[in-house]
Amino acid sequence: MVIEGLDGAGKRTLTDGLTKALHDQGRTVTTLAFPRYGRSVHADLIHEGLHRRHGDLTDSVYGMGLLYALDRREAAPEIRAGLDTHDVVLLDRYVASNAAYGAARLRQHADGEFVRWVREIEIDRFGLPLPDAQILLRVPPAVAAQRAEQRASTDAARAKDAFESDDDLQSRCAAVYDELAAASWLSGWHVVDGAAGVDHAALVTRLVHPG
Ligand SMILES: Cc1cn([C@H]2C[C@H](O)[C@@H](COP(=O)(O)O)O2)c(=O)[nH]c1=O
């Protein structure tokens, strides 16, 4: 199960809430967040690029896309082990993040060349597992920006990165996410209003017992 959305949408809070609701229903859960900062050389290069320690590393959209993809390829055994040993593997961002942010940066849409490339690299070539369900935690970009700003002001470790500081990028990214969800890209999507409070138990019931 994958959680997707803008920076500041509230994905971490939703991950925690869903984990608790799944535990309450007697299910075992393992969680993983991408990029895996501090756990993979690819993710650390991404962090340095997003915080401008390597000047123009972020300039190449395909180069950055490949770093994100390699971080996930390295994590594939961990995801597969989680699927074998737990009822639910909860991923805070996955392949669709790469599609949405990269397409937004290139001003493309969900049916564009970059989104096709992400699928080809990550799913077809790297053989990453397809998600069974993708949750789009949808909030107006202005609300997400405000939350990211607040987080950055109270926690030095969460200083805004290059993508978070670009309001136009976030707006385009929100539009690509909507298109990906409407096209059922990779698998079925569940759109959740992140501006209102989320009923975690009800969402779990909807996802784990569909219909
Ligand atoms: C996981 C992932 C994140 N991103 C972006 C979304 C965020 O703006 C940024 C860092 O992610 P984070 O803020 O959730 O840690 O990287 C991608 O562009 N592609 C990806 O595959």
Q: pLDDT digit string (tens) for 75-110? A: 999 999 999 999 999 999 999 999 999 999 999 999
Is any atom of ligand 1 closer than 6 Å to the C-beta of 98? yes
Q: What's the token pair of residue 31?
A: 């969680």
Longest dimension (CA), the chain: 49
Query: Rounded to the nearest whole angstrom, what is the distance from the C-alpha of residue 208 to the centroid of ligand 1?
Result: 26
Q: Give the angle subtended at the CA of 165 by the CAs of 163 and 168, to the nearest 5°.
A: 80
Contact 141, 6 (CB under 8 A): yes
182: helix, coil or strand?
helix
Annotated domain spans of the chain: 2-208
Is any atom of ligand 1 closer than 6 Å to the C-beta of 94? no
Give the pLDDT of residue 20.
97
Residue 37 clears pLDDT 90, i.e. is over it: yes
Is any atom of ligand 1 closer than 6 Å to the C-beta of 163? yes
Q: What is the pLDDT of residues 41-64, one digit of tens each?
A: 999 999 999 998 776 888 999 999
Predicted TM-score of the model (pTM): 0.96
**Nearest protein CA to atom 11 of ligand 1, as residue:** 35
Phi and psi torsions of 30, nearest 5°: -125, 140
Give the pLDDT of residue 55.
66
Is any atom of ligand 1 closer than 6 Å to the C-beta of 40? no
pLDDT band at 211 (very low <50, low <70, confident <90, very high): very low
2.60.40.10, 3.40.50.1220, 3.40.50.300, 3.50.50.60: CATH of 2-208:
3.40.50.300
**Nearest protein CA to atom 3 of ligand 1, as residue:** 97
Eight-class DSSP state of 130: P
Distance of CA 86 to the CA centre of its chain: 21
Give the pLDDT of residue 53.
78
Mean pLDDT of the chain: 95
